Each structure stands twice: as structure tokens, then as C-alpha cells.
Amino acid sequence: MTLYTNWGVTSNEIIGAVVTEMLHDLRVNNFTFTAFPEVTISHSDSKEFSITLSVKEFNSSIVFKIDNPTAKKVAKSFQNEKRIGGEFFKLIQSQLQLLEQSCQSSVA
């Protein structure tokens, strides 16, 4: 876990925001894979974070990026126990769809 003192958030809280939206998508649409994806984060440069979603059962993963302002915003929402929704949910939902496609092609 990394603490971003100037923002008052941690990398785990950013992951928590991602997982919150993943859980919402699970409730609404379900997943085609049988496991819950692993979520990891890295701050590859000073402007954005790389988020990796992976399903080891299928040896599949996808990586997407969120900029610093978005990361701070969603982490603060997570701290306040609020769902983010909106464009962030759409981003997570689209990444889950890509992960599902990756899992399906790994079986074919």
C-alpha cells in the first residue's frame, strides 16, 4: 500500500473504489468467469495510475489507466462510503467486458 499524503488517500482506497464498481456490475450484469478478478495498481508515472484486472483461472488480464484527479476523486468517495457511478462505472464495466472476452478467447 502506498500513502499519497498530499491527497490524503492510499492506493488501497483507489483499488477499493474499483472493486466497489466491480461489485455493482456483478449485481447488475453478473460475470461470465467463475472467479472474482484480482485487482492491482501501480503509479507508473506522475500523471496516472495503471490498474490491472486479472483472472488467474484463465491466465487473462487487462490493464487500463486512470489519471491522478480521477484516482483522488474515487478514493475520496470510497473513504466516504459512497458509490462513484457515472463515467467511472462505465469505465470499469467496459474493462470487465474486455477481461471477459480475454477469458473466453483463452479457452477457445
How far apart are the C-alpha atoms of 64 and 77, rounded to whole Å? 20
HSE (CB half, 13 Å, CA atoms) of 64?
Answer: 19
Helices 11-29 & 68-79 angle (0-180, nearest 10): 80
The residue ranges of the chain whose pLDDT is under 70 are 107-108
pLDDT at site 4: 85
The pLDDT value recorded for residue 108 is 61
Under the phi-then-psi rule, with left for phi > 0, alpha for psi from -120 to 50, and beta for the rest, what region is 59? left
Q: What is the DSSP string of 73-100?
A: HHHHHHHTT----HHHHHHHHHHHHHHH
